[in-house]
Protein backbone atom coordinates (compact mmCIF):
# COMPACT_ATOMS: atom_id res chain seq x y z
CA UNK A 1 0.00 0.00 0.00
CA UNK A 2 1.30 3.45 -0.90
CA UNK A 3 1.14 6.07 1.86
CA UNK A 4 0.84 9.73 0.91
CA UNK A 5 1.17 12.76 3.12
CA UNK A 6 -1.58 15.36 3.52
CA UNK A 7 -0.03 17.73 0.95
CA UNK A 8 0.09 15.01 -1.72
CA UNK A 9 -3.47 14.01 -0.83
CA UNK A 10 -4.70 17.57 -1.36
CA UNK A 11 -2.93 17.94 -4.67
CA UNK A 12 -4.36 14.66 -5.99
CA UNK A 13 -7.90 15.57 -4.96
CA UNK A 14 -7.63 19.11 -6.27
CA UNK A 15 -6.59 17.90 -9.70
CA UNK A 16 -9.61 15.60 -9.85
CA UNK A 17 -12.01 18.24 -8.57
CA UNK A 18 -10.87 20.89 -11.02
CA UNK A 19 -11.89 18.56 -13.82
CA UNK A 20 -15.45 18.19 -12.55
CA UNK A 21 -18.02 20.57 -14.07
CA UNK A 22 -19.96 20.77 -10.79
CA UNK A 23 -16.91 21.67 -8.72
CA UNK A 24 -17.48 25.40 -9.00
CA UNK A 25 -19.24 25.38 -5.59
CA UNK A 26 -17.18 24.93 -2.48
CA UNK A 27 -13.50 24.43 -1.91
CA UNK A 28 -11.25 21.46 -1.50
CA UNK A 29 -11.58 21.91 2.26
CA UNK A 30 -15.37 21.60 1.95
CA UNK A 31 -15.18 18.30 0.14
CA UNK A 32 -12.72 16.12 2.03
CA UNK A 33 -10.14 16.16 4.78
CA UNK A 34 -7.97 13.66 6.57
CA UNK A 35 -7.79 12.97 10.28
CA UNK A 36 -5.85 10.49 12.35
CA UNK A 37 -7.64 7.92 14.51
CA UNK A 38 -4.62 5.71 15.02
CA UNK A 39 -4.58 5.18 11.28
CA UNK A 40 -5.17 7.43 8.32
CA UNK A 41 -8.78 7.70 7.29
CA UNK A 42 -10.68 9.95 4.96
CA UNK A 43 -13.73 11.73 6.33
CA UNK A 44 -15.96 13.38 3.74
CA UNK A 45 -18.25 16.26 4.70
CA UNK A 46 -21.26 16.61 2.43
CA UNK A 47 -24.78 17.96 2.46
CA UNK A 48 -27.37 15.76 4.12
CA UNK A 49 -30.35 14.39 2.24
CA UNK A 50 -33.40 12.46 3.38
CA UNK A 51 -31.63 9.34 2.09
CA UNK A 52 -29.50 9.57 5.24
CA UNK A 53 -32.53 9.52 7.57
CA UNK A 54 -32.05 5.99 8.97
CA UNK A 55 -28.40 6.72 9.74
CA UNK A 56 -29.39 10.04 11.37
CA UNK A 57 -31.71 8.15 13.72
CA UNK A 58 -28.84 5.88 14.78
CA UNK A 59 -26.73 8.92 15.61
CA UNK A 60 -29.49 10.77 17.44
CA UNK A 61 -30.28 7.68 19.51
CA UNK A 62 -26.63 7.60 20.61
CA UNK A 63 -27.06 10.97 22.38
CA UNK A 64 -27.96 11.32 26.06
CA UNK A 65 -31.39 12.69 26.87
CA UNK A 66 -34.27 12.97 24.47
CA UNK A 67 -32.59 13.71 21.14
CA UNK A 68 -35.53 12.49 19.03
CA UNK A 69 -38.84 14.24 19.36
CA UNK A 70 -41.87 15.60 17.58
CA UNK A 71 -40.85 16.78 14.14
CA UNK A 72 -38.01 14.29 13.77
CA UNK A 73 -40.02 11.77 11.73
CA UNK A 74 -39.05 10.99 8.12
CA UNK A 75 -41.55 13.35 6.45
CA UNK A 76 -40.68 16.27 8.74
CA UNK A 77 -36.94 15.85 8.20
CA UNK A 78 -37.52 15.60 4.44
CA UNK A 79 -39.40 18.93 4.50
CA UNK A 80 -36.77 20.48 6.77
CA UNK A 81 -33.87 19.52 4.51
CA UNK A 82 -35.73 20.70 1.39
CA UNK A 83 -36.54 24.08 2.99
CA UNK A 84 -32.98 24.56 4.22
CA UNK A 85 -30.88 23.34 1.30
CA UNK A 86 -27.14 23.73 1.68
CA UNK A 87 -27.18 24.20 5.46
CA UNK A 88 -27.18 20.70 7.02
CA UNK A 89 -24.18 18.39 6.71
CA UNK A 90 -22.95 14.92 7.49
CA UNK A 91 -19.51 13.47 8.10
CA UNK A 92 -19.02 10.18 6.28
CA UNK A 93 -16.40 7.47 6.63
CA UNK A 94 -16.62 4.73 3.99
CA UNK A 95 -20.22 5.81 3.23
CA UNK A 96 -21.18 5.49 6.93
CA UNK A 97 -22.69 8.60 8.49
CA UNK A 98 -20.58 9.15 11.61
CA UNK A 99 -21.72 12.67 12.47
CA UNK A 100 -24.24 15.28 11.40
CA UNK A 101 -25.63 18.74 12.03
CA UNK A 102 -28.96 20.29 11.07
CA UNK A 103 -29.16 24.02 10.38
CA UNK A 104 -31.86 26.49 9.39
CA UNK A 105 -32.73 30.18 9.63
CA UNK A 106 -35.68 32.52 9.63
CA UNK A 107 -33.96 35.21 7.54
CA UNK A 108 -32.52 36.92 10.62
CA UNK A 109 -31.16 34.25 12.96
CA UNK A 110 -29.77 30.83 12.30
CA UNK A 111 -30.24 27.73 14.39
CA UNK A 112 -27.97 24.71 14.73
CA UNK A 113 -29.35 21.51 16.18
CA UNK A 114 -29.07 17.74 16.39
CA UNK A 115 -25.26 17.84 16.21
CA UNK A 116 -23.68 14.49 16.93
CA UNK A 117 -20.56 12.46 16.23
CA UNK A 118 -20.58 8.75 17.00
CA UNK A 119 -18.58 8.13 20.16
CA UNK A 120 -15.78 6.12 18.55
CA UNK A 121 -15.01 9.04 16.19
CA UNK A 122 -15.07 11.87 18.75
CA UNK A 123 -12.10 14.02 19.76
CA UNK A 124 -11.02 14.41 16.13
CA UNK A 125 -12.54 17.83 15.34
CA UNK A 126 -15.36 16.30 13.27
CA UNK A 127 -18.06 18.18 15.23
CA UNK A 128 -16.09 21.42 14.85
CA UNK A 129 -15.82 20.87 11.10
CA UNK A 130 -19.57 20.24 10.83
CA UNK A 131 -20.37 23.39 12.83
CA UNK A 132 -17.95 25.48 10.76
CA UNK A 133 -19.47 24.19 7.52
CA UNK A 134 -23.01 25.10 8.58
CA UNK A 135 -21.94 28.48 9.97
CA UNK A 136 -20.18 29.31 6.69
CA UNK A 137 -23.35 28.38 4.77
CA UNK A 138 -25.50 30.50 7.10
CA UNK A 139 -23.13 33.48 6.77
CA UNK A 140 -23.32 33.20 2.98
CA UNK A 141 -27.08 33.74 3.32
CA UNK A 142 -26.61 36.89 5.42
CA UNK A 143 -27.17 35.38 8.86
CA UNK A 144 -25.28 37.16 11.65
CA UNK A 145 -26.51 35.42 14.83
CA UNK A 146 -26.89 31.73 15.58
CA UNK A 147 -28.84 29.93 18.28
CA UNK A 148 -28.31 26.39 19.48
CA UNK A 149 -30.54 24.20 21.60
CA UNK A 150 -28.83 21.78 23.99
CA UNK A 151 -30.51 19.22 26.20
CA UNK A 152 -29.71 20.44 29.73
CA UNK A 153 -28.38 17.02 30.80
CA UNK A 154 -25.93 16.72 27.90
CA UNK A 155 -22.82 17.95 29.71
CA UNK A 156 -20.45 16.88 26.90
CA UNK A 157 -22.43 18.98 24.41
CA UNK A 158 -22.42 21.99 26.73
CA UNK A 159 -18.63 21.71 27.11
CA UNK A 160 -18.17 21.34 23.34
CA UNK A 161 -20.23 24.42 22.45
CA UNK A 162 -18.45 26.47 25.12
CA UNK A 163 -15.09 25.32 23.75
CA UNK A 164 -15.87 26.78 20.32
CA UNK A 165 -17.06 30.13 21.64
CA UNK A 166 -20.80 29.75 22.24
CA UNK A 167 -22.22 31.19 25.45
CA UNK A 168 -25.43 30.52 27.32
CA UNK A 169 -27.99 33.29 26.82
CA UNK A 170 -29.20 33.63 30.38
CA UNK A 171 -31.96 36.15 29.69
CA UNK A 172 -33.92 33.68 27.55
CA UNK A 173 -36.00 30.63 28.33
CA UNK A 174 -37.25 28.33 25.61
CA UNK A 175 -41.01 27.84 25.62
CA UNK A 176 -42.92 25.54 23.31
CA UNK A 177 -46.28 24.03 22.51
CA UNK A 178 -47.16 20.95 20.51
CA UNK A 179 -49.72 21.82 17.84
67 has pLDDT over 80: no
How far is the C-alpha of 13 from the C-alpha of 134, rounded, in Å?
22
More confident residue, 145 or 8: 145
80 has pLDDT over 60: yes
Summarize pLDDT for 37-60 with one digit per residue, the tens. Answer: 455 568 999 999 999 999 999 998
The rounded mean pLDDT for the chain is: 80
What is the value of pTM for the model shown? 0.75
- Lowest-confidence segment of 2-6, 69-73, 151-155 by average pLDDT: 2-6
Given a contact cutoff of 8 angstroms between Cβ atoms, the answer to whether 65 and 151 are in contact is: yes
How far is the C-alpha of 73 from the C-alpha of 135, rounded, in Å?
25
pLDDT on residue 173? 81
Cross-sheet strand order for the sheet of 109-117: 32-36, 40-47, 89-93, 96-105, 109-117, 145-148
- The alpha carbon dihedral of 177, 60, 88, 149 has a sign of positive
Four-CA torsion 143, 59, 164, 35, nearest 10 degrees: -110
Instruction: Name the β-bridge partners of 89.
Output: 47, 101
As a whole number, mean pLDDT of residues 136-148 equals: 96
As a whole number, mean pLDDT of residues 12-27 equals: 37
Burial class (CB in 10 A: 0-12, 13-18, 19+), 16: exposed
Domains of the chain: 46-163 (3.40.630.30)
Amino acid sequence: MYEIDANEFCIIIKLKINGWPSASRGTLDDIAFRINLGKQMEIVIKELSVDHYDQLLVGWKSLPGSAIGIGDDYDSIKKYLNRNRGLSYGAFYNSKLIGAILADHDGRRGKLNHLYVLEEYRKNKIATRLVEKSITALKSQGIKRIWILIHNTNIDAIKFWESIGFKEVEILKIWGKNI
